Amino acid sequence: MSCEIDPRLCPIGVFDSGVGGLSVLGEAVRQLPHEDFIYFGDTYNAPYGTKAPEQVRELAFGIVESFCARRVKAVVIACNTATAEAAKELRAHYSFPIIGMEPALKPASELEGPGLRLVLATPGTLSSEKYASLYARFGQNAVSLPCPGLMDFVESGDRGSPALRDYLEHLLQPYLHENVTAVVLGCTHYPFIRPLIASFFPESTRILDGNAGTVRQLRRVLRQKDLLKTEGTGTVTLETSGNDQTLTLMKAMFEEAKEMIS
């Protein structure tokens, strides 16, 4: 459904299984300061990364349909798992642009050096056909590391508890004495714990995510379709399927997300 007055004035919908997509939203606000955003964190149904593909698709369609009622001009799926499992079907169903995420494996493959590229992501992302295709093209020297439960630490606001440190040490231990050129953060929750992940590696190891690239693609598509808003002060509306406590956490993490990329 299009905006009745000027489609450029319509908002952009952004959604994730919880708070992780706020890392994408922070980047979007930086690159597109005039745009209005509606963010929905589906905390009640989190995590998506361990759900069956058909469950993820059903949830994604429900959210995008609710965005339609708000007359959005585009949707950003700020979730690697939902992108992998639902983006193709959503694009076939809706006429407005739908921008998804993918792990930054291509940029990692383009870095100099023969070292490993570690890809941290949810089981759902790593088992998807979309990731298999990405890996087939850019997976040389890449190791895929499923991280069930890692996003749960971020959802609770954890940045460095002993339990989280133990989780990461157990996950990364086999590679700590290897030559690791890059670590790819293949879930939008993980940038919130980027400093902790980076602390396990030498300073020369690059820590990459796909947030900036996704927002650049959003900007390109909006410009191509003459949907880019170029004047005025943008707004952000945060919503969740969780409770008031979740919304309070989301507000704090959104401010943190803006600080991370400032």
Let me know whether 94 and 133 are in one domain.
no
Let me know whether 28 and 123 are in one domain.
no
Residue-range definition of the domain harbouring residue 16:
7-101+211-260
Mean pLDDT in the chain?
95
Task: Point out the domain boundary residue: 164, 185, 208.
Answer: 208
Overall average pLDDT of the 164-190 stretch: 97
Let me know whether 142 and 216 are in one domain.
no
Whether the CB-CB separation of 37 and 236 falls below 8 Å is answered with yes
198 located within any domain: yes
Give the HSE-up count for residue 126: Cα atoms under 13 Å, Cβ half-sphere. Answer: 19
Whether the CB-CB separation of 38 and 110 falls below 8 Å is answered with no
pLDDT for the residue 99: 98
pLDDT for the residue 5: 78
Quote the CA–CA distance of 132 and 240 in Å, as a whole number: 31
Overall average pLDDT of the 48-67 stretch: 96
Kindly tell me if the per-residue pLDDT of 261 is higher than 80: no
Cα 165 off chain centre by: 22
Let me know whether 97 and 225 are in one domain.
yes
250 located within any domain: yes
pLDDT for the residue 197: 98
Let me know whether 121 and 202 are in one domain.
yes
The beta strands (E) that lie in the chain are given as: 12-16, 37-41, 74-77, 98-99, 116-121, 142-146, 180-185, 206-208, 236-240
Overall average pLDDT of the 13-31 stretch: 97
Quote the CA–CA distance of 112 and 131 in Å, as a whole number: 22
Kindly tell me if the per-residue pLDDT of 1 is higher than 70: no
Active-site residue flag, 187: yes
Let me know whether 203 and 219 are in one domain.
no
How many C-beta neighbours within 10 Å does residue 1 have?
A: 14
Residue pLDDT, tens place only, 209-256: 999 999 999 999 999 999 999 999 999 999 999 999 999 999 999 999
pLDDT for the residue 112: 93
Overall average pLDDT of the 44-69 stretch: 96
Residue pLDDT, tens place only, 77-120: 999 999 999 999 999 999 999 999 999 999 999 999 999 999 99
Q: How confident is the model at residue 172 (pLDDT cuts 50, 70, 90)?
A: very high
235 located within any domain: yes
Residue in 3, 10, 147, 187 annotated catalytic: 187
2 located within any domain: no
- SS3 (DSSP) at 146: strand
129 located within any domain: yes
Active-site residue flag, 3: no
pLDDT for the residue 262: 55
1 located within any domain: no
The count of domains in the chain is: 2
Q: Provide the Cα torsion 172, 44, 156, 37; round to 10°.
A: 90
CATH number of the domain within which 141 lies: 3.40.50.1860
Place of tokens 């007359």: 71
